[in-house]
């Protein structure tokens, strides 16, 4: 027979997670004002479960952060997070420009991103998981579908990185729309299992982006950005 204290342990743990841990994860690093400030991408409407914003301060100007940010993605620079988790939990779904892990340098060939270009989070053969770029404001904002990355300049040559997500869930999306119970169960699993894993990976990405931008020499970032933006002179021969 289950003892009375143990009988209530799971419900109490779930309530504590929902009231304390989950709000901390969803708003990691962000102030109350940052969680509610209008950001690029807010005007995009999508069927979502929740909206939330995370933030981190980077000791580098937006011009140094942007080249690292704009090259993220599958078959691109990766996501600067826990590459070993991507390889073990999602084997064969994330492909890196540098082979076995996220980029350790700025790739000029990945800088020429445009609105409408697709950035995938993973792929298996012809199956691709991702969204198009919906907002692109150099050195200020990159929005992939509804996933927004916003760079706000701070005094002292620093940057505030805001990452706003509009989660639609994972298992919830796989359930038929007409089945309210399956969608509810899928949403519950998304909240308890999917969100903590996703939080760990997004937090790792933000810190990985911060580490790269802070350690990158200023001349390297400016050279890579200018190389990607500089048009060829009129009449210049092609490659």
pLDDT at 231 over 50: no
Residue the block writes with tokens 């020499």: 217
- Give 229: exposed, middle or buried? Use CB within 10 Å, 0-12, 13-18, 19+: exposed
For the segment 221-233, the average pLDDT, to the nearest whole number, is 49
CATH code of residue 109: 3.30.530
The structure's pTM equals 0.82
Q: Is residue 123's pLDDT more than 70?
A: yes
Query: Is residue 167 in a domain?
Result: yes
| Domain annotation covers residue 216 | yes
The answer on pLDDT for 212 being more than 90 is yes
Quick check: is 190 in a domain? yes
With bands split at pLDDT 50, 70 and 90, how would you rate the model's confidence at 233?
very low
The closest of 170, 149, 146, 163 to 203, measured between CA atoms, is 163
pLDDT, one tens digit per residue, over 126-142 is 889 899 999 999 999 99
The pLDDT assigned to 180 comes to 63
- pLDDT value at 72 more than 70: yes
Q: What is the pLDDT of residue 183?
A: 60
Band the pLDDT of 91: cuts 50, 70, 90.
Answer: confident
Domain residues for the domain of 99 are 29-222
More confident residue, 207 or 172: 207
pLDDT mean over 9-28:
85
189 — pLDDT class (breaks 50, 70, 90): low
- pLDDT of 148 reads 96
Closest of 187, 151, 5 to residue 68, by C-alpha: 151
Please compute the mean of the pLDDT values over residues 52-64 and round it to a whole number: 97
Lowest-confidence segment of 68-72, 91-95, 170-174 by average pLDDT: 170-174
In a domain, 101, yes or no: yes
For residues 8 and 119, the model is more confident at 119
In a domain, 232, yes or no: no
Q: Is residue 238 part of a domain?
A: no
Percent pLDDT > 70 in the chain is 75
Phi, psi of 143, deg, nearest 5: -120, 120
Domain count, the chain: 1
**Burial readout 151-184 (b: 16 or more C-beta within 10 A, e: otherwise):** bbeeeeebbbbbbbbbbbbbbbeebeeeeeeebe
Least confident of 26-40, 84-98, 185-199: 185-199
pLDDT reading at 229 higher than 60:
no
Does residue 214 belong to any structural domain of this protein?
Answer: yes
- Please give the full DSSP string across the chain, using - where no structure is assigned: ---HHHHTHHHHHHHHIIIIIHHHHHTTT--HHHHHS--TTTT-----SEEEEEEEEESS-HHHHHHHHTT-BTTBTB-SS-HHHHHHHSTTS--BTTBSSS-SS--GGG----TT-EEEEEEETTEEEEEEEEEEETTTEEEETTEEEEEEEETTTEEEEEEEEEE--SHHHHS-TT-HHHHHHHHHHIIIIIHHHHHHHHHHHHHHHHHHHHHS-HHHHHHHHHHHHPPPPTT----
> Is 57 among the domain residues?
yes
């Amino acid at each position: 027979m289950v003892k009375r204290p143990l009988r209530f342990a799971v419900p109490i743990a779930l309530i504590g997670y929902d009231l304390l841990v989950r709000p901390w994860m969803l708003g990691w690093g962000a102030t109350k004002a940052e969680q509610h400030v209008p950001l690029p991408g807010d005007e995009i409407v999508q069927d979502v479960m929740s909206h939330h914003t995370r933030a981190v301060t980077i000791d580098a100007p937006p011009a140094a952060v942007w080249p690292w940010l704009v090259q993220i993605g599958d078959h691109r620079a990766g996501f600067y997070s826990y590459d070993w988790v991507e390889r073990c939990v999602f084997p064969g779904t994330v492909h890196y420009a540098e082979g076995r892990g996220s980029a350790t340098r700025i790739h000029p060939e990945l800088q020429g991103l445009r609105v409408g270009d697709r950035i995938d989070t993973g792929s298996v053969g012809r199956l691709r998981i991702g969204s198009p770029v919906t907002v692109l404001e150099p050195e200020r904002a990159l929005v992939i579908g509804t996933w927004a990355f916003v760079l706000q300049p701070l005094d002292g040559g620093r940057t505030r990185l805001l990452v706003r997500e509009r989660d639609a869930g994972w298992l919830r999306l796989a359930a038929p729309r007409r089945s309210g119970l399956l969608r509810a169960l899928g949403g519950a699993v998304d909240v308890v299992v999917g969100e903590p894993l996703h939080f760990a990976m997004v937090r790792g990405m933000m810190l990985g982006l911060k580490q790269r931008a802070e350690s990158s020499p200023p001349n390297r970032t400016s050279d890579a950005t200018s190389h990607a933006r500089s048009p060829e002179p009129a009449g210049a021969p092609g490659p």
